[in-house]
Chains A and B, each alone.
Chain A
Amino acid sequence: MLKDPASIVNRWFPVARSEEVITRHVVQTQLLGQEIAVWRDDAGRVNAWENRCPHRGVRLSIGFNTGTELRCQYHGWRYATGSGQCTFIPAHPTQKPSTSIHTNVYGSMEQYGFVWVHLGPQTPALPTLPTLPTLPTPATAATLQATTLRSLFVEAPTSAVAQALLRGYRFAADPADDAGSPSEGSLSDGSMGEDSMGGASVVAHDQFMLATADSNGRSAAVTFLLQPMTESQTVIHGIAHAMSPAVEARGETVAVAVTERAAKRLALLRHHHSQMTALRDAVERALLAPTPHRVEPSTP
């Protein structure tokens, strides 16, 4: 998946769920081995900078997000949102900092509920979400009920995580079907039983992986996006798409419908979290296990 370094650098990758990049906060993350400080100014604009103060190299992520600038924890140098230009050096309060002093700014944007970053100098095209198969017209996340899942950190190379997802991410089209069914053990053997966990089919599409499941007359899909943090660490980002029409409130009060929707959303998040966690644990266990001896098949 990630073979040519040049083509990797010139790609967009998701690095954080948008709603987790809150104001007056600095998110610390990593992409292709490069540490990044991601922060949102008070006007809503997102910045993604190399996590390193140009002055003494201290991590900017331990600094302060003042709403318009990032202030380094060490000597208080301040850097402006957008340009990364140094605006103030406390030890030289009357001098205007040279224009040559600025943070290393990466290209960033927000789409599909995530903050995306590219490390290279050229701005690549953003990958398009795969068309969801059972819908009559090409659909985007915006036209569907999309829920961004909890992003999951995995102690494994991106290629291993991608293989595991393609081999068998299983989930129920309706999380309510999941009650009491085991989430463990269904991944490693790859069996696709006729249980509530509709044997999902997973296909790769550009940088996305699309998993679909059908069960009990309902269908659902989830798109996965992988963030290669380092050569041995990956974050799985996911968007769940409900493809069946949402159950309408049956004449209840609005408050009941809202409560019900919130409960359904939470059930959906928990269901995918438990399936993704099982997958994560299986991938990590497989990496820890000693390489098995090859046993020659005894059958002719």
Chain B
Amino acid sequence: MIKLYNYELSGNCYKVRLILDALRIPYERIDLDFYPGYEHKSPWFLCINPLGQLPVIDDGGFILRDSQAILVYLSSKYDPSGVWYPRDDAEALGRIAMWLGFAENLTATAATARLHDTMFYDVDIEKCRAGAHALLRILDEHLWFAEQEGHDWLCSRDHPTIADIACFPYVMLSEEGGVSRLPYPAIRRWTDRLKRIPHFTLMPGVFGASPPQASPA
């Protein structure tokens, strides 16, 4: 069984839990005391990931770190339908890689602001928040025009890809870092849609979407 080195309050670990659940892959959690214990910087864990970062997975001895890399690996290996990561569509793969990079930028800004506010990390908080708003502006604009063209997702029309999973957590948790999403109504509609995908799971700080309207029989 896949082992996930996990921290419940980490948005990057949440991404991996979301894709594992969406693909119905059973897994075993190994929970670390990220805060206040800093167990991800402990000698035993640095042997597994010298960067001292979560998440990491161990799939039968194949060890992989970096949440974005893990999304690529799991969707490539365990999604026979290929909807989450369309292997044969070069343009889709290019766009997905672009949004995975965008997710890294969210980690550097919105997620870092959250570490400052909730776990007292010493960072330039105003710079983090301004950087997060600059990204959310771009994201809201992209999603608004995508909707106009009938696309529900970041880089696909009908089914989300791992790009949506990668960007979702630190957008959804931004207010824990003092980054209001009030100016971003298209982001709000997109997060509601994502919360309605089958087998969607919550984490602390992420609330469910309103129950969908029953479709007429």
Q: Which residues of A contact B (CB under 8 A)?
A: 16, 20, 22-30, 35, 42, 62, 64-67, 73, 150-151, 153, 229, 233, 266, 269-270, 273
Contacts and interface: CB of A to CB of B under 8 A. Distances in A.
Nearest to A270: B145
Interface of B: 137, 141, 144-145, 148-149, 181-186, 188-189, 192, 207-213
Contacts of A65: 210
B213 A42 contact: yes
A27, A28, A266 interface centre (most CB from chain B within 10 Å): A28
A216 to B, nearest CB: 25
Contact of A28 (B141, B182, B212, B213): B182
Nearest to A266: B148
A266 B149 contact: yes
A27 B185 contact: yes
A27 B188 contact: yes
Contacts of B183: 153, 233
- Residue of B148, B182, B211 ringed by the most chain A CB atoms within 10 A: B182
B45 to A, nearest CB: 35
5 contacts: A23-B213, A24-B211, A25-B188, A66-B210, A266-B149
A24 B210 contact: yes
Contact of B210 (A20, A64, A150): A64
Given A25-B192, A266-B148, A270-B145, A66 B207 contact: no
A280 to B, nearest CB: 10
Contacts of B141: 150, 273
Contacts of A229: 182
Contacts of A266: 145, 148-149
Contacts of A23: 213
Given A64-B210, A273-B145, 6 more contacts: A16-B185, A24-B192, A24-B211, A66-B210, A73-B207, A153-B183
A3 to B, nearest CB: 25
Contact of B188 (A28, A30, A67): A28
A269 B146 CA distance: 12
For the complex of A and B, 3 pairs with smallest distance between CB atoms = A153-B183, A65-B210, A64-B210
A41 to B, nearest CB: 11
Contacts of B192: 24-25
Contact of A26 (B182, B208, B210): B210
A20 B185 contact: yes
B177 to A, nearest CB: 17
Contacts of B188: 25, 27-28
Contact of A30 (B145, B182, B186): B182
A153 to B, nearest CB: 4
A25 B145 contact: no
Contacts of A29: 182, 185
A20 B186 CA distance: 8
B138 to A, nearest CB: 11
A189 B148 CA distance: 33
A186 to B, nearest CB: 20
Contacts of B213: 23-24, 42, 67
A20 B189 contact: yes
Contacts of B144: 150
B189 A25 contact: yes
B209 to A, nearest CB: 8
Contacts of A66: 210-211
A270 B137 CA distance: 16
Contacts of B145: 150, 266, 269-270, 273
A33 B205 CA distance: 25
- For B144, B145, B208, B210, the residue with the greatest tally of chain A CB atoms inside 10 Å of its CB is B210
Contacts of B148: 266, 269
Nearest to B137: A153
Nearest to A29: B182
Nearest to A153: B183
